Amino acid sequence: MKKVGNHKSFSRIFFSLALTLSFSLSVFSQDSTSVDVAAAPATGGNADAGKALFNANCAACHALDKVMTGPALRGVADKYDKEFLYKWIKNNTELIKAGDPTALKIYNENGQKAMTIFPQLSNTDIDNILAYTSQPKPEPVVAATVVDGNGGSSNDSGISNNVILGALALVLTMLIVMLFLVNNVLTKIAKANGIEVQKDSKSLPIWKAFIKNQFLLVVTAILFLLFAAYFAYGYLMQVGVDQGYEPIQPIHYSHRIHAGDNGIDCKYCHSAARVGKHSNIPSLNVCMNCHKNISEVAEETLAEGNEYGVNYNNEIQKLYNAVGWDKTTQTYTGKTEPVKWIRIHNLPDFVYFNHSQHVTVAGVECQTCHGPVEEMEIMRQHSSLTMGWCINCHRETNVKVEDNAYYAKIHEELSKKYGVEKLTAAQMGGLECGKCHY
């Protein structure tokens, strides 16, 4: 009993040690996300309100530090007269028409692209925006600290583990040595006292006894064979099943950010799933719908990327290289390099699967088969994609017949025949071989 108690206390110590260590780790990493924002210089506006306004109105075409559709705007208040900026922002077309030399200069410098007019903005609003654009650029030190912190903490935990293990080993060796010594001492005492230490009576060794017992032998053999068969079967059945397949893709594309954080609908990019057999890997022009304007991620996102060892901005640059987009001139170069994605979901050739049947007709959520994609940083195969998996779902899922004239009559007649309220896909013929194999 005592021994058991000892064991418990040992593991308790170990557990609490581990806990504290891991906590300290997360605490440590949380510290590092603070970004110090320098106070806005006195332009008479509220930089926070300006940021909100900037994001709502200007961010589609402008960034603070880089050229997008429009020029970079940091420090724009220093370049131009404030009165001019009021007029320009509210209605630049009028200014250009009127022949204002500064306006014309801006117009010509930026490729004669007219800017959207914002008559709804008040002068205070514009002040606020200008206050935001006049903030100095934050120092890019932050990222470096994060990396350091991460590395340090993981090293710490490694050392402590080794220490504990070493201590345990030491204790065990000591125990063994002690037992040996005790045994020696006892034998010596016995010798001194003239007591003969009784040796074990010569009985059959256990393995020989086992071999002699035919019944036990047969039972063991049968059990062994059964277990072997069970595991062999299990092994063989997973040949060709790639559940959890998570290859490294040529561009680190995060479904977590796109589908999770930004809540983009799956079918915005995988649009063919609505009408076709395939759920296509989106062509790069679809990416550019957004990424024409998003060439850099927010700093918090960048920091998140570091946890996965990836710089999202570099990944966006890979997209630009592939599609041939020059972000400085904001033009397509025409030099493209199609991306060779690694296909994750591979059905065998002898299976016909149609996405539109499931997505559009049956209204199955993408996540039903593909799992919590919106949480996946790296896409992986969630389901086994085996025939048994398909069939189970067909047996359990009701056919979505609401508002579909195709099903009205068939459903009425069949449900009467089977005496059920709602038909499953199987009852509609979803288990027939020829429906998927042809």
Partner 1 sequence: MASNKKYWKSVEELNENSSIVETLRNNEFVEQIPVDEFLGDKEALSSSATSRRDFLKYVGFSTAAASLAACEGPVVKSIPYVVQPEEIIPGVADFYATTIADGFDFANILIKTREGRPIKVENNNLEGARTGANARVHASVLSLYDSLRLKQPKIAGNNATWGEVNAKVKAGLEEANAQGGAVVLLTNTMASPSTDALIDELKAKYPTVKHVIYDAVSDSNALDAFEQVYGVRALANYDFSKADVIVSVGADILGDWQGGGYDAGYAKGRVPKNGKMSKHIQIEANMSLAGANADKRMPMNISQQKAALADIYNAVVNGASPKNAEIAKVVNQLKSAKSKGVVVTGLDDVNAQLVVLAINSAIASEAFNPTKAKLVRKGNAKEVSQLVDYMKAGKVHTLIMSGVNPVYTLPNAKDFSEALKKVKLSVSFSMKEDETASITTIAAAAPHYLESWSDVTIEIGHYSVAQPTIRPLFDTKQFQEALLTWTENSVSYYDYLKGFAASNVSGKSWNQIVHDGFAMNEALPLVANTVDFSAAVSQLTSVKNSGLDLVLYTKTGMGDGQQANNPWLQEFPDPITRVSWDNYVTISKKDAERYDLKNWNVANGGMNGNYVTLKVGNVTLNNVPVVVQPGQAVGTLGLAFGYGKKAALKQEMQVGVNAYTLYKNLTANQIVTITKEAGEHEFACVQLQKTLMGRGDIIKETTLEIFNTKDAEVWNPVPMVSLDHQETPTTEVDLWTSFDRTTGHHFNLSIDLNACTGCGACVIACHAENNVPVVGKSEVRRSRDMHWLRIDRYYSHEETFSGDVELKEGTSGLLNSVSTLSDMEDPSENPQVAFQPVMCQHCNHAPCETVCPVAATSHGKEGQNHMAYNRCVGTRYCANNCPYKVRRFNWFLYNKNSEFDYHMNNDLGRMVLNPDVNVRSRGVMEKCSMCIQKTQATKLQAKREGRLVKDGEFQTACSAACTSGAMVFGDVNDKESQVAKLAEDERMYHLLEHIGTKPNVFYHVKVRNVK
Per-residue contact flags (x/-) with partner 1 for residues 39 to 78, judged by CB under 8 A: ----------------------------------------
Reduced to 3 states, what is the DSSP secondary structure of residue 325? Answer: strand
State CA 279 to chain mean position distance: 20
Find the shortest distance in angstroms from Cβ 244 to partner 1.
Answer: 12
Q: Which residue matches tokens 């710089």?
A: 311
# residues near partner 1 by CB under 8 A: 57
Per-residue contact flags (x/-) with partner 1 for residues 386 to 415, judged by CB under 8 A: -----------------xxxxx-xx--xx-
Find the shortest distance in angstroms from Cβ 228 to partner 1.
Answer: 19
Terminal-to-terminal C-alpha distance of the chain: 67
Pairwise CA distance, residues 127 & 137, whole Å: 19
Give the residue, chosen from 44, 151, 166, 240, that forms a contact with partner 1 under the rule CB under 8 A.
Answer: 240
Q: Which of 134, 128, 138 is nearest to 52 (CA)?
A: 128
User: In b/e form, how buried is each residue of 228-254, taking b as 16+ CB within 10 angstroms?
Assistant: eeeeeeeeeeeeeeeeebeeeeebbbb
Q: Is 215 in the site for partner 1 (CB under 8 A)?
A: no
Give the residue, chosen from 97, 278, 395, 422, that forms a contact with partner 1 under the rule CB under 8 A.
Answer: 278
Find the shortest distance in angstroms from Cβ 329 to partner 1.
Answer: 19
Pairing assessment for the beta strands 325-326 and 331-332 based on DSSP bridges: antiparallel
Give the residue, chosen from 343, 363, 419, 421, that forms a contact with partner 1 under the rule CB under 8 A.
Answer: 343
25-28: Cβ within 8 A, 24+ apart: 25/153, 25/154, 25/156, 25/157, 28/149, 28/152, 28/153
Give the residue, chosen from 176, 181, 195, 342, that forms a contact with partner 1 under the rule CB under 8 A.
Answer: 342
Q: Which residue matches tokens 């896909």?
A: 425
Choices 131-139, 140-148, 258-266, 317-325 (CB under 8 A): range interacting with partner 1: 317-325
- Using CB under 8 A, list all residues that contact partner 1: 239-240, 242, 245, 247, 271-272, 275-278, 280-286, 322-324, 336, 338-343, 346, 348-350, 352, 354-357, 360-361, 403-407, 409-410, 413-414, 417, 428-429, 432-435, 437-438
